[in-house]
A and B are shown apart, each in its own frame.
Chain A
Amino acid sequence: MDISFKEVSHTYQPNSPFEYHALKDLSFHIQSGQFVAIVGHTGSGKSTLIQHLNGLLKPTSGEVKIGDYRLKADEKTANIKGLREKVGVVFQYPEHQLFEETIEKDIAFGPKNFGATDDEIKARLPKVLGAVNIDASLLNRSPFDLSGGQMRRVAIAGVLAMEPEVLVLDEPTAGLDPKGQQEVMDMFYRLHHEKGLTTILVTHSMEDALKYADHVIILEQGKKHLEGKPETIFVQKDRLKQVQLDVPEEIQFLMDLEARLGIKITYDKHSIDDLVKEIKAQLGGGR
């Protein structure tokens, strides 16, 4: 589903001393099937933005279009439940939303609300469990018996079980250990390709944005600061510095390499092994 924002502004508690402009005239377009990273500082409006993606918030002015759904101020959106079924949101610390007696029931909660039959849900279970790497033997346990990382993955499974077309991820790796972070991100990346999802990742991590996204939007105080391909965005060190963001490690490394040894490599989603090969080649055939 294509997503487009047209001059979207959102103001919290308008006309009060607590008035706060979270988004200001924000416009962008996301094509169906893209992996988009939204990067910005705390308070840059990221969380407000993603709540517009499934109608939890409405713009105070401007227009949001998600597929055929339209969100506009003072206009009732038809079939908002249908929109929420198609756009799955994994919120920050999604394990906080677990509540059922068993893991199975909790995963089934979303799909059931959207009218999936028990048989359908049974059929989806093995797939989502496999995706998040949770063993089927745990299904009858209470979600509160699990470790933090497992709880996170069960909560994610609950969103995946809704079989959304758009997946919105709000810092899905916050609070996980490095290995867990890598696993979760790789899982989302795999799902993105396997199911042809449109994925929107909100993150603090420049490295993740560079590695996974094919489009990056940088927000600053509710406005769009930069937008474009990660390879072109993340080399603009000065522009990033303006909003207290750093260049991703990989790019910084390549910049240092060029400054010290005069080796020029343009980053193009290299893996570490590929980079090593390329550097070796440039240094003159692996001495």
Chain B
Amino acid sequence: MASSLIIGQYVPADSVVHKLDPRTKIMMIFTFVIIVFFANNAYSYLWLTVFSLSAAALTKVKPRFLLKGLKPVWFLIVFTFLLHLFVTREGDVLTTLLGFPVYSGALIQGFQISLRFFLLILVTSLLTLTTTPIEITDAIETLLHPLKKIKFPVHELALMMSISLRFIPTLMQETEKISKAQASRGVDFKTGPLKERIQAVVPLLVPLFVSAFKRAEELAMAMEARGYRGGEGRTRLRELEIVARDYVAIGLFLVVMVGLFYLRT
């Protein structure tokens, strides 16, 4: 079921990571995604792993839940590992597996690349786990604010983002509801030949589109009724604020960065 997928899902908890300013979190994670690629030896990877795991621990989200949520990407991680194992030809031949020679370099590289992959996914999923969609869009809107000078529609983009994020769960619910209704009318989504299963999607998609359009129209109407006329002169209920906590986090993150460049070869 879709509920086992936690990427993009917010888990409320009372933790330091939850309380950080979303802009701090976004900037840190953005930088992390870049610096992960600079790690090139065991020490630097270990350093980053320690950082990621302690960040994950700080969120107070249960580790079991975190790992279970990453289930859909385990396959990709393992696949990357195997691909490297069989394709890379560096170092000495260690053994042969299924008739393929396995090189020592392949083992190391496979391990490094899948670890990198794992860290990337773990850390980026921490953002959505600890930050509400509203906070994320608010942060993006402020971060992109300078682009307004070149007539980039920052507010509209942020609004579009928050509306789509807001309606993902609604649409998922709707999908589940309609698929259940059609299942009780005898549609079989899970078994049967591929052609029939593809056809089974039609009774699901048509009502879904109908309701999505209806919803969009109602939303537009409700927004106009409440006097929405774009971002001009709009004030906020919750102002984002960088506080001491954020400076500490940024400081620690700088230590991680400096440490990484010191450790890499």
The interface of chain A, by Cβ under 8 A from chain B, is 12-13, 15-18, 51, 54, 56, 81, 84-85, 87-89, 91, 94, 96-99, 109-110, 112-114, 144, 158-159, 162
Given the known A-B contacts A16-B65, A17-B11, A56-B180, are A109 and B185 also in contact in the complex, defined by CB atoms under 8 Å? Answer: yes
Give the complex CA separation of A54 and B211 in angstroms.
Answer: 25
Which residue of A is nearest B204, CB measured? A99
Chain A CB within 8 A of B231 CB: no
Given A16-B65, A109-B203, answer yes or no on A96-B181 (Cβ-Cβ < 8 Å).
Answer: yes
A162 lies within 8 A of B185 (CB): yes
B residues less than 8 Å from A13 (CB atoms): 3
**Which of A15, A16, A158 is in CB contact (< 8 Å) with B185?**
A158
B72 shortest CB reach to chain A, Å: 15
- Within the complex, which residue of A12, A89, A112 is in contact with B184, where a contact is CB–CB below 8 Å? A89
Contacts of A56 in B (CB 8 A): 180, 183-184
Q: Which of B11, B177, B202, B203 contacts A91 (CB 8 A)?
A: B177
In the bound complex, do residue A84 and residue B65 qualify as a contact, i.e. CB atoms below 8 Å apart? no
Q: Using a Cβ cutoff of 8 Å, how many contacts connect chains A and B?
A: 66
Q: In the complex, A243→B3 CA distance in Å? A: 31
A91 touches B181 (CB 8 A): yes
When distances are taken between beta carbons in the complex, the residues of chain A under 8 Å from B202 are: 99
Interface residues of B (CB under 8 A from A): 3, 11, 61-62, 64-65, 68, 177-178, 180-188, 202-203, 206-207, 210-211
| A110 and B181 within 8 A (CB) | no
Query: Could you tell me if A96 and B211 are in contact, using CB atoms closer than 8 angstroms?
Result: yes
Task: Contacts A17-B62, A91-B177 given; indicate if A114 touches B210 (C-beta within 8 A).
Answer: no
Question: Is chain B's binding surface mostly helix, strand, loop or mixed?
Answer: helix
A residues near B182, Cβ cutoff 8 Å: 97
Cross-chain contact of A84 among B186, B203, B207 (Cβ < 8 A): B186
Tell me, rounded to whole Å, the shortest Cβ–Cβ distance linking B210 to chain A: 7
20 examples of A-B residue contacts, CB within 8 angstroms? A12-B3, A18-B3, A51-B180, A54-B184, A56-B180, A84-B186, A85-B186, A87-B184, A89-B184, A91-B181, A91-B184, A96-B178, A96-B181, A97-B182, A97-B207, A110-B185, A110-B186, A113-B185, A144-B210, A162-B185
- List of A residues within 8 angstroms of B185 by Cβ: 84, 97, 109-110, 113, 158-159, 162
In angstroms, Cα B182 to Cα A66, docked, is 20
Nearest CB in chain A: distance from B173 CB, A: 12
Q: Is the CB of B203 within 8 A of A94?
A: no
Q: How far is the CB of A154 from chain B (nearest CB, A)?
A: 13
CB closest chain-B residue, reference A57: B180
**B13 to chain A: closest residue by CB:** A17
Contact B211 A88 (CB under 8 A): no
Tell whether, in the assembled complex, residue B11 and residue A84 are in contact, meaning their CB atoms are under 8 Å apart: no
Contact A114 B180 (CB under 8 A): no
Nearest A residue to B11 via CB reads: A17
A113 lies within 8 A of B187 (CB): yes
B188 contacts A81, C-beta separation under 8 Å: yes
